[in-house]
Each structure stands twice: as C-alpha cells, then as structure tokens.
Amino acid sequence: MKGALALATMALSAGCATHRMYDPYCGAFTGTQMEYERFIADCEALRTTRAMRSRNAQDEAIAEDLRGALNAEVHRNGLQHAAPEYVATTLLQSLAQRDLLRASTRLAVLPPDCRVADAYCVAVQARMEQQIVAANQCTVIERVRLLEILHELHYQQNPAGFDEESAVEVGRFVGATHVLLLTVTAPPEQRALDLSARVVDVEHAIIVASAHETFRN
C-alpha cells in the first residue's frame, strides 16, 4: 500500500514539475509537464501554419514581380491575352467541348517541367491555376496538399518532368480525375518562352486536351 502511494505521489510530482523554455515562434513558457506538452504541440502547429503562409506569400510575390515579363501579348480574334491565361482558357474550352468539365471534375496541376529559371515556372503555374480557378468550371486540387502528396511519394522533379504514367499515379493518390502537365522552355537564341500544356485523364491514362503558346520574355 505504501509502495503504491509512493508511486502515485511520484507521478503527481512529475506531472506538476515546472518546465521553462523559449521558442522564437511561440515565445516563453513556464508550466507543468502536461501544459508543456500541449505548448509544444500548439507551437508545432503554429510553425507549420506560418511556413505554409510564407510559402504561399512568396509564390504570389514572385508571380507579381514577373507580371511584366510574362505579359507579352498574343492576339486571338482581335482580343489580347497573356500567354498563360490564353493557354488555360484554350484547355478549358477543349475540355468543355468534350463534356469533361463537370462539378465532379477534379484537376491537379503538377509542378512544371521547367527548362528555364524556376521563378518563371512558379509564376506561370500560379497564373494558370488562378485562371482555371476563376473560371469556376471544375475543382482544382489545393497546391499545398498536392506538394505534400508528392513528398510522401518521394517524387523529385527531374529534367524530364512528369510523364503520363507518373502523372496518372499522382492523380490517383490525390483523388484527381484529370492532371495538368506544364512544360516551360526557351527557344534557342530567342528572347521568348514556350509554354506547353496537356491534360491527362487519370482513369483512362490518355491526353484529352493540349495547348501551346510562345510569348516574348
């Protein structure tokens, strides 16, 4: 009986032990073991949230900074469109003609096959996603979630980018019905960028839409 009481007293004492620490994200802490564990969990959640916000803000800042460089105009039917937006619109029109744009359509935009400066590809991808989301014709898989899945699958971007087979595999993991593949290249000896895009049907592993545009850098 005395042994059990001693163990209970020791456990109670351990639970009431005072911990002190300082975290640059969450500040100073003083409290019991239980409070300390809760503080650590809350702090880690805050750290993750801030990291995601910072990454999203950085993407938007890059896209905004490069707006002028990417806004070379192409002319279609007397109207002017920036190339990324034009390619996105062309893809959506092609999917609509095939009756593939429905409420159940879930599109995953994979990281581009980037053969120029990474910053240009980030901006192109961001603007393509913005155009597709703004059209409100299908659901776009959230970028952070997609990157998490790619990390879990140990996919690392390589010079060849994603092929149809790997794109289909990723699409199945994220619950997408279609996957958008982007390629950004620079034609030799030209101050221009080539943007190519194709949409792959995940269920049938076939390309159902494609578009290409060259625009001045």
What is the pTM assigned to this prediction? 0.60
The CA distances from residue 101 to 25, 58, 108, 129, 204, in Å, are 43, 31, 14, 15, 16
Instruction: Please tell me the predicted confidence (pLDDT) of residue 205.
Output: 92
User: Rounded to the nearest 5 degrees, what angle is found at the Cα of 122, between the Cα atoms of 201 and 129?
Assistant: 45
pLDDT in tens, 135-150: 888 889 887 778 777 7
Q: Which CATH class is domain 81-216?
A: alpha beta
The answer to whether residue 199 scores a pLDDT higher than 90 is yes
- Residue-level pLDDT at 13: 44
For residue 20, what pLDDT is reported?
Answer: 67
pLDDT band at 26 (very low <50, low <70, confident <90, very high): low
Q: Where are the domains of the chain?
A: 2-63, 81-216
Which residues touch 167 (CB under 8 Å, ≥6 apart)? Answer: 110, 179, 181, 200
Query: What average pLDDT does the chain have?
Result: 71
Q: How far is CA 136 from the centre of its chain?
A: 18
